[in-house]
Amino acid sequence: MPHALLERIDTLGPEVVALQRALVAIPALGPDNDGQGETAKAEFLERHLRALGLADILRLDAPDARVPGGLRPNILARIPGRDTSRTLWIISHIDIVPPGNPDLWHSDPYELKVDGDFLVGRGVEDNHGGIVPSLVLAKALLDAGATAPMNLGLLFVADEETGSAYGLGHVVAEHAEQFGPDDLFLVPDFGVADSSLMEVAEKSMLWLKVEVFGRQCHASTPEQGLNSLVAAADFILRTRRLHQEFPAVDPLFSPAHSTFSPTRKDANVPNVNTIPGHDVLYVDCRVLPQYAVADVLDAFGRIASEIEAEHGVRVACSPMQAEQAAPATPVDSEIVRRLSAAIEAVYGVTPAPAGIGGGTVAAILRRAGRDAVVWSTCEHFAHQPNERSRISTQLGDAKVMARVLFA
């Protein structure tokens, strides 16, 4: 491990701030989030890569007629190593989520605020916390004149926040030739504040929309209607039994069991004195990989039939999103071993492989037969107002990436 490389990373705190300031100022919202796409931010990143001196840069854009220019950008860049047949890929996403209620922000979400070691602004953690350390590593590598044992590959993808069909999903489906059989994959998009969590598995995901169709009437004569709200409430209460129908526990995950959480409830009637005839609710399910999503859907179907029989309403269940869990990355795989040693060397903690309930682009790689690990040092302010990250941990994460590359 070249010490000059680590020493150079230590000097790049101002580079972290400058990159974050530039990135925060460029909103990159996909059309599903009422945005214009990620092109402006991608163009900044491409200019920055060329200014660093990288020559091997490809655009692997996905067509999308909903955005100006009709393309969703994906940028691939490589710095050659001694063994050009292998690449360590660091995969970050360009898009962000909307800031939400501006009254909850203490500063402009699109203007970087520096507060000591903290950086505040939309995207500073999710996912500039992955983009910036990888760019810091690239700059330090070139500045130090170091040649790594294998290629360093940087991949910046679109559309992670709304499904990845135009991002890594497109890249893997249409440009799989860019990846070698012995490549390594690191996705810096989830972690904990003490750097110890390495995500190697994800639960299956089901977002279910439930519509209850009753009959509206005046609240003074409820017997003339079919109260969809009462039926919807009964449906919600019956979802609790799914924990008994799918009871398995896997300590790799936290929580270790499957979860079935009623979340959103749409408005029905606007006034108090009307019995509603139509209600819409949603359930978020994170299911352990050994269970089939189809079996969970069948269980909801049985609940729907019971509600129809008891309340005389009609119930329609439709999945908004249904993803069967990808195979887990083996805990003894090369990328896990390299990353574990690097985290311990930089942060002095013993890392632990773990599974999560959320979804990341690593699932796309795992379904394609690739061993991928999701890791970064996170303050867990993603998607929140006053999103924040640390300068120090972005430098530390760049050092971890360097140690993985040179292991």
Domain with residue 267: its CATH number is 3.30.70.360
Would you say residue 355 has pLDDT above 80?
Answer: yes
323, 357, 391: which is the final residue of a domain?
Answer: 323
Q: How far apart are CA 148 and CA 4, in angstroms?
A: 13
Q: What is the pLDDT of residue 279?
A: 98
Which domain-ending residue is among 323, 347, 366? 323
Judge if 249 and 388 occupy the same domain. no
Q: CATH number for the domain including 363?
A: 3.40.630.10
Q: How many domains does one find in the chain?
A: 2
Confidence at residue 163, expressed as pLDDT on a 0 to 100 scale: 87
User: Tell me: the pLDDT tens digits for 13-63?
Assistant: 999 999 999 999 999 999 999 999 999 999 999 999 999 999 999 999 999
pTM reported for the whole predicted model: 0.89
- Which tens digits make up the pLDDT trace of 90-131? 999 999 999 999 999 999 999 999 999 999 999 999 999 999
Which residue is associated with the tokens 């971890």? 400
Q: What is the pLDDT of residue 264?
A: 95
Asked if 8 and 134 sit in the same domain, the reply is: yes
What is the mean predicted confidence (pLDDT) over 149-155?
Answer: 98
Residue 207 pLDDT level (bands cut at 50, 70, 90): very high
pLDDT for 340 equals 98
Beta bridge partner(s), residue 352:
197
The answer to whether residues 239 and 135 belong to one domain is: no
User: What is the Cα 227 distance to its own chain's centre?
Assistant: 39
38 and 150 in one domain?
A: yes
What type of residue is 375? W
- Same domain? 65 vs 158: yes
Domain, as residue range, for 274: 204-323
For residues 166 and 239, membership in a common domain is answered with no
Question: Is there a single domain that holds both residue 88 and residue 218?
Answer: no
Contact residues for 391 (Cβ-Cβ < 8 A; gap 6+)? 13, 16, 17, 117, 118, 119
Task: Out of 263, 298, 323, pick the residue that ends a domain.
Answer: 323
289 and 315 in a single domain? The answer is yes
CA 300 to each of CA 25, 41, 176, 246, 281: distance values in angstroms, whole numbers, following the listed order:
44, 42, 37, 12, 13
Torsion sign across C-alpha atoms 337, 340, 342, 348: negative
Token representation of residue 225 = 């209607």
| Residues belonging to the chain | 407
Model confidence band, residue 369 (pLDDT cutoffs 50, 70, 90): very high
Given this model, what pLDDT does residue 330 score?
96
On whether both 209 and 259 belong to a single domain, the answer is yes
Strands 372-377 and 204-213 turn out to be: unpaired
> Is there a contact between 391 and 190 (Cβ–Cβ < 8 Å)?
no
Catalytic site includes residue 95: yes
Active site residue 7: no
Q: What is the pLDDT of residues 126-139, one digit of tens each?
A: 999 999 999 999 99
Q: Select which of 160, 161, 183, 211 is catalytic.
A: 160
User: Which residue, among 342, 367, 90, 368, has the nearest Cα to 202 in the 3D structure?
Assistant: 367
**Cis-peptide into 255, omega within 30 deg:** yes
Q: Are 184 and 211 within one domain?
A: no
Considering the domain architecture, whether residues 7 and 122 belong to the same structural domain is answered as: yes
| Catalytic pick among 15, 38, 95, 202 | 95
On whether both 16 and 160 belong to a single domain, the answer is yes
